[in-house]
Structure 1
Amino acid sequence: MSTANAAPRADQIGRGIALTLLTIVVFGVQDAIAKLLVQDYSPFHITMMRYWGFALFALIMVMRQAPLRQALASRAARWQVLRGVLLIADIWCFALALQSVPLGELQAIVIVYPLLVTLFAIPVLGEQVGIFRFGAVAAGFLGALIIMRPGGIPLDWGVVYALGSAAFYALYIVITRKVSGVDRPATSLAYAALVGLVLSSAVGVFFWQPMAWGDFALVAVIMVTTCAGHGLMVFALGMAPASVLQPFNYFSLPWAIVLSIVVFGHWIDAISLLGAAVIVAAGLVVMARERVRKVAIVTDTPPAGHE
C-alpha cells in the first residue's frame, strides 16, 4: 500500500480533532466580539470589515497554489458566483441575528444547517433521501420549534435572520459539493473570497460609521481570528477526514452557551437546551447514516433499513 493511500495515523486524527475544537473556540470568541459590536454599529459595516480578513486569508491561500487568473478559470462560473452570494448572505443574516438573539439560542438555531443540507441535496444534487433521514430531519426541526416556542426566545426578525443564516449556509454547502466535481478547491475559495469581498464592501460602505479606537481594535481582533480560524480549519482537515471531524462541530453549541453566560450574563433556559439537544442528536444521526451509506457504496453492500 502506498503512503498516499494509507489511512491517517491515530495521533494525526487526534491532532485534527484538537485543532477542530480550537477552531470552534476561535470562531466563538469572534462571534461574541461581533455581538458586542453590532449593538453600536451596523451589521453590514462589521460584516464588511470581517470579510476583509477572510478575503485576505483566502486569496493568500489561493495564490500559494496557483496564479489568481488561473484559479478563476471555472467550469461552473455561475454556480461559483452563486456560492459567493450565498456565503455573504449567510454572514449578513448571522450578523443581523446577533443584534437581538442571545448567542446560545442563536447557535442552537443555526446548527440545524446539516439537516437543511440533507433536504437541499434532493433538488440540487438529485440525492435520494429515505424515511430514516427524513425522520431525523423532522426531529431536528421539532427541536428548533421547541426553542422558538411561545415564551421562549422573542419571535422577532432576529429569529428569521437566524433561520435565514442556516438556510443560506446549507445551500452554500450543497452547491460547494456540486462544483467540487468540476472545479479545484482553489477555484471555489477564490470565487467565495472575491464575490463576498465585492458584495460586502458595496453594501457596507453605505453603513460606514466612525469608530472609537477601542472598537476598531475589536474589529482588528475579528480580522485576526477570521484568518486564524480558517487557517486552523485547513490544518485540521489536512490531518483527519472531514467525516471524522464534522461531529465535533457541535461543540460550538456548548461553547456559545458558555460565552453567552460569561460575556453577556444570559443563561439558556432548560426547555431551549432540550430543543438544542434534539437538533444535535438528529444531526448526529444523519451524519452516522451518511457514513454508513458511504461504506455501503464502497463495499457495494446496501445499508440495512431505509436511508
Structure 2
Amino acid sequence: MTEQNTRLGIYLMALTMLIFALQDAISQHLARHYNVYMIVMIRYWFFAAFVIAFAARQAGGLRKVAATKRPFLQIFRAALIACEICVMITSFVHLGLIESHAVFAAYPLLVAALSGPVLGEKVGWRRWSAIGVGFIGVLVILQPGMTVFSPFAIIPLIAALMFALYGLLNRYAARFDGTATSFFWTGVVGAILLTPIGLWHWEAMTPTDWGWMLALCITGATAHWLLIRCYELTEASALQPFAYLQLVFATILGLLIFGEVLRLNVAIGAGIVISAGMFTLIRARRREKAA
C-alpha cells in the first residue's frame, strides 16, 4: 500500500463514520414514531437490492459471488448482524445516541476477549488487562449502584457483544469465502429474515418520514460502499482506530439535534473504553507485523 492510498483510506474512513452516525440519528428519529422491525426491514430491502447490484458487477456475476463453501455460517452471521441492528436502534430510542455509542465502543474489547474461544487466537495478559480496564470504563458509564440502574442500559452492551461476534465470524468466513460473497449474504439473508417480521408490524408513514426513510436507505448503502473502498485502499489495522470517530460524530449529533446531555461519567467512561480499545488494536497490529 502506498502512503497516498493509506491517507485516502483514512479520510474515507472518517467520512464513512460520519455517514454511519447520520444513519443512526435518522434511525433514532424514525424509531421514536414507528416500529423498529419495520424500519430495519425497509432498510434491508434497499440494502439487498444494493448488494445484488454490486454482486452482478463483479467478475463471474451473481452466481459466482453467491457461491459459498459455508452456507450455514453465512446465514448465521447475516442473521446475527440483522438482529444486532434492531437491538442497537432500540437502544437509541431508550438511551439516546451518546450513551448507546459510549457503551457500544467496548466492542473491540469483546472481539479481543472472544478471539480465543472463537478463532483459537492467543490472548496475552496485556490484552486481558486492557479488556478489564475497558469494562471498568463501561461500569463508569452505566454507574450501577449509584442510581436506580435502568435495565435499558444493558441493551447497547448486548449489541456490542453481538457485533463483536459478528466481526469474528467475518474473519472466520474469510478463510472460505471472499468479501463480496459475505457482503451478498449479509444483505440478502437480512432482507429475507426481516421481511415477515417487519410486514407483521407495518405502520403507515407520513410523506415526510418516507423521505427520512429514503435518506436512511441511501446513507446505509453509501456507508457500506465507502467501507469496502476503505479496506481496498488501506490495511484494516491502520483503519480500525478511526472507527471510534463514529462515537465522536454521534455525540455531536446527539447534543445538537436531540438535545442529549453528555454526562461527566459517560465522558470519562468512554475515554477509558477508547483508550483500552486503542491499546488492544495497537497490540494486535504489532502481532500482525511480527508474524
Query: Smaller-chain TM-score range?
Result: over 0.9
Residue 198 of structure 2 is aligned to residue 219 of structure 1: no
Alpha-carbon shift at residue 96 of structure 1 (Å): 1.1
- 1:9 deviates by 2.1
**Pairing of 1:130-149 with structure 2 (within 5 A):** 130-149=124-143
Q: Deviation per CA, 1:162-187: give whole Å up to 9, x if none.
A: 11211111111111111111112222
Report the more deviating stretch, 70-79 or 97-106: 70-79
Question: Aligned in 2, Cα 1:10/1:56: closer, same or farther, shift over 3 Å?
Answer: same
For 2:35, the equivalent position in structure 1 comes to: 42
> Quick check: 1:63 aligned with 2:56?
yes
The structure-2 alpha-carbon separation of the partners of 1:26 and 1:202, relative to structure 1 and needing over 3 Å to count, comes to: same
SS at structure 2 position matched to 1:264:
coil
The alpha-carbon distance between structure 1 residues 154 and 245, as it changes in their structure 2 partners (threshold 3 A), is farther
Cα gap change, 1:18/1:140 in structure 2, threshold over 3 Å: closer, same or farther? same
Contact conserved, 1:144 with 1:275, CA < 8 A, in 2?
yes
- Separation of aligned partners in 1, 2:135 and 2:20: 25
Structure 1 residue 161 corresponds to structure 2 residue 155: yes
Per-residue displacement from partner, 1:244-281 (whole Å, max 9, x unpaired)? 11101111111111101100111211111000000000
- Is residue 97–residue 157 contact of structure 1 (8 Å, CA) maintained in 2? no
Partner Cα separation in structure 1 for residue 50 and residue 5 of structure 2: 24
Match of 2:22 among 29, 33, 44: 29
**What is the letter of the counterpart of residue 17 of structure 1?**
I
The whole-number CA distance in structure 1 between the counterparts of 2:252 and 2:147 is 18
Q: Counterpart of 2:32 in structure 1: which amino acid? A: Q
Aligned to 2:73: 79
Q: What do the CA deviations read for 1:75-120 (whole angstroms, capped 9, x no partner)?
A: 1111111111111111010111111112111111111111111122
1:7-18 counterparts in 2 under 5 A? 8-18=1-11
- The Cα shift of 1:19 comes to 0.8
Uncovered stretches (5+) of structure 2, i.e. residues with no partner: none
Residue in structure 2 matched with residue 197 of structure 1 by the alignment: 191
* Correspondence for 2:44: 51
Q: CA deviation at 1:67?
A: 2.9
- Compared with structure 1, are the counterparts of its residues 103 and 78 closer, same or farther at alpha carbon in structure 2 (3 Å cutoff)? same
SS of residue in 2 equivalent to 1:266: coil
Scaled by the length of structure 2, the TM-score of the pair is: 0.95
Contact 1:30–1:225 (8 Å) recurs in 2: yes
CA distance in 1, matches of 2:220, 2:64: 25
Query: RMSD value over aligned CA atoms?
Result: 1.5
- Once the two structures are superposed, the pairs formed by residues 259-274 of structure 1 within 5 Å of their partners are 259-274=253-268
Deviation, structure 1 residue 161: 2.2
Correspondence list, 1:119-134, <5 A: 119-134=113-128
Cα drift, residue 158 of structure 1: 3.0
> Which SS does the other structure have where 2:69 is aligned?
coil
1:150, distance to aligned residue in structure 2 (A): 4.1
Map Cα deviations across residues 220-266 of structure 1 (whole Å, 9 max, x no partner).
00001111111211222222111111101111111111101100111
Q: Which runs of 5+ in 1 are unaligned?
A: 1-7, 298-307
The answer as to whether partners of 1:81 and 1:191 remain within 8 angstroms in 2 is yes
Output the TM-score relative to the length of structure 1.
0.90
What is the CA–CA distance in structure 1 between the aligned matches of 2:208 and 2:147, rounded to whole Å? 31
Partner Cα distance (1:117, 1:262) in 2: 31
Distance 1:271 1:237 in 2: 34
Matches of 1:12 and 1:187, distance apart in 2: 25
Q: Work out whether residues 257 and 267 of structure 1, in 8 Å CA contact, stay in contact via their aligned partners in 2.
A: no
Q: Do the aligned residues in 2 keep the contact of 1:99 with 1:158 (CA within 8 Å)?
A: no
Indicate the residue corresponding to 1:248 in structure 2. Answer: 242
Q: How many percent of aligned residue pairs carry the same amino acid?
A: 32
